[in-house]
Chains A and B, each alone.
Chain A
Amino acid sequence: MASEHHDDNHGIAHTASIKVLVGTGGTLLLLTLVTVLATKVDFGANINLAVAMFIAVVKATLVILFFMHLKYDKLFHSVIFVSAILAACLFVGFTLMDSGQYQETNIWHPDAPPAAPFGPRPTTG
C-alpha cells in the first residue's frame, strides 16, 4: 500500500504520514481502554485471557507495522523479526503443550514433605 499520499519516499527511508502516526497511536490507546473494559466482563477465565491476548497481539501488530515501519521496510528486516517471533512462539507453544508433564508435587510443602528414598532411618525416642 505504498501510496504516494503517505509514503513519499523522499530521502533514504520511508516517512510515515502524520495521519498514519496519529491514527495508530489513537487506535492503540482505544484498544488499551477496550482491554481494561473487557476484563470487567466475565467470559470465563480462559476466554478473558484469550481476548486480552488477542487485543495485545493486534496492538503489537499495529506498533510493528506502522510505528516501526516494518510494512514499508525491507523484507529482510521482516524476516529477521518474524523469525524471532516464531522462535518465541515455539518456546511458548512447547511450554504450553508440555504443561501436562509438570509434576504436581514439585514444590516442597512443610506439612507433607516428600518421602526421602535414601538416607538415615529416622530415630525414635
Chain B
Amino acid sequence: MSSEQPHAAGHDDHGHGHGGSQFIQHHYDDAQHQFDSGKMGIWLFLAQEVLFFSALFVAYIIYRYHHPEIYAYAHKYLDVKFGAINTAVLIFSSLTAAWAVRAAQLNQRKLLITCLAATILCALAFLGIKYIEYTHKIHEHILFGHRFDPCVSSGNAPLLTKNNECPGHKGSVLWDDGGQKPVMGCFAEIALDQNPHRPGLQVDCEVSETVLEIPKDAKGKPVTDKRTNKWAVVAKSSTPITKQCPPPSMHAEHGEHEACWRVAPQPAVCHPGWFFTSRCTGGAMLAGAPQALAAAKQEAGAALTALNAATASKDEVRTKDAKAAVAKADAALLEAENLADLARSCSAGGASFWSSDSHASSSDCVDGRLARDKQLKNVRKQEDEKLEKEKLAIPLTTWTLSECVRSETTGFLVDHGDHKVRPFEMIVTPKCKGPPAPTNASDLFAEPERKLKLGEKLIDPSVAAPDAHDAHDQLYLGPPPEHTGMFFTIYFAMTGLHGIHVLVGVFVFIWLLIRAIKGHFTPDYFGPVDFAALYWHIVDLIWIFLFPLLYLIH
C-alpha cells in the first residue's frame, strides 16, 4: 500500500541498526530513542502551555474577585449553547486525535486518515462557531474595554447607546449629559431617569403620513361615530416618511430639506412645520385648527361690529343681512372651536397637538388634562347643539414661528422641512416594533424567560447586592455595570488565544493528514501523531476550564 518502504536506502548507511522507518534520524539510537526524546520535548512544551494560560487565569481571578457583578452580568451575553456545542466538538476531536494515535501505532492507515480528517473537521467546526460568536459580538458592539457599547442589555432589554448607531435599529436615544435627560428617542412608558448606558427603549419604526377624510352624509354633515360621539374618520392616502431626522444639534430646523421623522421624548419641543402625535401606538393630529379658530373669532367680531353699525343706521335690510352674517359667523366660530378641541385630543392617548400657531399659549399643550376636560365639555355642548351647524371648512394657514412644549408623553414629530401649508386632516401614524422577543423557553440551554416590562424601573446594578436573588435578576436585565467591557477584554484574550491554538492545531493536523496519506507513519514512527494529539488534548483541556468560567457563571 505504501510506496515508501520502512527500510529505505540511506538509513542503513549509518549503521545504527534502525529497524524501521526512514524517518528515524541517524543521531538517535533507535526508534524508541527518537520517540522518547520527542515525547519529553512535547511534555515540556505542554508544561509551558499550562504556565502560559495560568497567567490569563490569574488575571481572570483578580477581576472576578474584584467585580463579581460584572461577571454575573456580562456572561449573559455569551450563548451557553455555543459554548456547550464547542466543548462537545473539542472533546470529540480529542477522542479522534487519541484514536488516530492508536491507529498509527497499529498501522491502520485508513483509520488513521479518517481520524485525522475528523479531528480537522471538528477543529474547523469549533472555529466556525467561534466566528459566529465573534461576528455577533462585533455587530452588537459587545467588545473589549471602551469599545463595549452594546445595543441590548444582557437580559435582551434594549439599551441606550453611546453613539446612537446600532445596526438594525433605526431609532434609539440621544442623551444630553448636561441635562441628564434624553434629547431624542422613544421610551414608550419607561422611566426617563437613566443615563446613556442605562436602559431605554430603542424602536424600529415605520412612520407614514396619512391624509384623512371625514365622511359626510347626504346633507353634507360630517358622519359621527355613534360609540365615541366623534367624527368618523377614514384614511384617504398614506405617504411613508422614510428618513429619520438627524440629532437636533445637527439638524437645520429652518432651512428647506427633506421631510423626516423623529421620536420626541419628553418634553417635546415642536417647531414650525412639525407634526406631533403621541406614543408608539399611533395618534392623530389636526393642524391648523387654532388658526381657523382665531380667524373665526375675528370674523365673528367683524360681523358683530357690522351688525352694531347696521342697527345704528336703522337700515332694516342692512340689519337683516348683518344678523344673518353674525349667525353664520357664530356657527363658523362654534365649528372652529369644536375642531380645535378635537384637534387637541383626537388621538386615543389624548396626546396630539400642533405647533406653529403664534397665538397659542404654551399652556394649550402643556396641560393635557385641561385640554381633555375642555373637550369633554365641548362634546356635551355639541350634543346640545345636535351637531347640526357643523360644516367642514379646511382652514389654510401659513406656519408661523412658535414653540410648543408638552410634558405629558413621548411621541413622534415629523419635520416637513418647509413652511408650506398643511391640511388639518393629516395624521402621522408610526408603527413600531416592540422589544426583542425573549429566548425560547423550550430550549435546554435557554435562559429562563425574563422579559423586561416596559416602564419597569431598574435597580442600579452597581449598588445592587449580587447575592439577593431579585437583585441578581435585576442585575442582568438592566444596564451594564461600570467597566463591563473588562469582562470582554478577558473573554477575547482567553478565547482568542485559545482560538489561535486551535488554528495552529488545524495546520498541524493537515500536515499530519498529508503525511498519513503518503504513508509515513508506521508502528515504529508515529511520534508526530502522538505529539500533535498531546498538544490537541491540552487545547481541549484549557477549553474545559474556559467553558464554565466564561459561559456558566451563576
On A, residues with C-beta under 8 Å from B are 10-13, 15-16, 18, 21-22, 24-25, 28-29, 32-33, 35-36, 39, 42-43, 45, 48-49, 52-53, 55-56, 59-60, 63-64, 66-68, 73-74, 76-77, 80-81, 83-85, 87-88, 91-92, 95-96, 99, 102, 107, 109
Taking CB atoms, residues of chain B closer than 8 Å to A35 are 547-548, 552
Stretch at the interface among B46-54, B247-255, B375-383, B403-411: B46-54
Additional A-B contact list (5), CB under 8 Å, known A39-B548, A45-B72, A84-B50:
A28-B91, A35-B552, A45-B467, A67-B97, A88-B54
Given the complex of chains A and B, what is the CA–CA distance between A33 and B44 in angstroms? 32
Q: Once the chains bind, are B102 and A16 in contact (CB under 8 Å)?
A: yes
Name B46's closest neighbour in chain A (CB-CB): A81
CB nearest to A45 among chain B residues? B554
Q: Which residues of A contact B53 (CB under 8 A)?
A: 88
Of B46, B65, B72, B445, the contact of A36 (CB 8 Å cutoff): B445
Q: Note all chain B residues with C-beta closer than 8 A to A66.
A: 98
- Secondary structure call for the B interface: helix
Candidate in B57, B68, B97, B534 with the most chain A CB atoms within 10 angstroms: B534
Interface size class of B (residues with CB under 8 A): 35 or more
A-B pairs, top 5 by smallest CB distance, nearest first, are A84-B47, A25-B95, A88-B54, A48-B554, A52-B548
Residues in A neighbouring B458, C-beta threshold 8 A:
none
Query: In the complex the two chains form, is A88's CB within 8 Å of B50's CB?
Result: yes
A-B contact pairs, 28 of them (CB 8 A): A12-B35, A13-B39, A16-B102, A22-B95, A29-B88, A29-B91, A32-B547, A35-B547, A36-B80, A36-B84, A52-B548, A52-B549, A56-B547, A56-B548, A60-B544, A63-B94, A67-B97, A76-B40, A81-B46, A83-B47, A84-B48, A92-B54, A92-B57, A92-B58, A99-B61, A102-B62, A107-B482, A107-B483
Given B84, B98, B541, which contacts A16 in the complex, CB threshold below 8 Å? Answer: B98
- In angstroms, Cα B467 to Cα A45, docked, is 8
Given contacts A92-B61, A95-B62, contact A12 B31 (CB under 8 A): yes
Q: For the complex, is B545 an interface residue (Cβ under 8 Å from A)? A: yes
> Contact between B61 and A80 (Cβ–Cβ < 8 Å)?
no
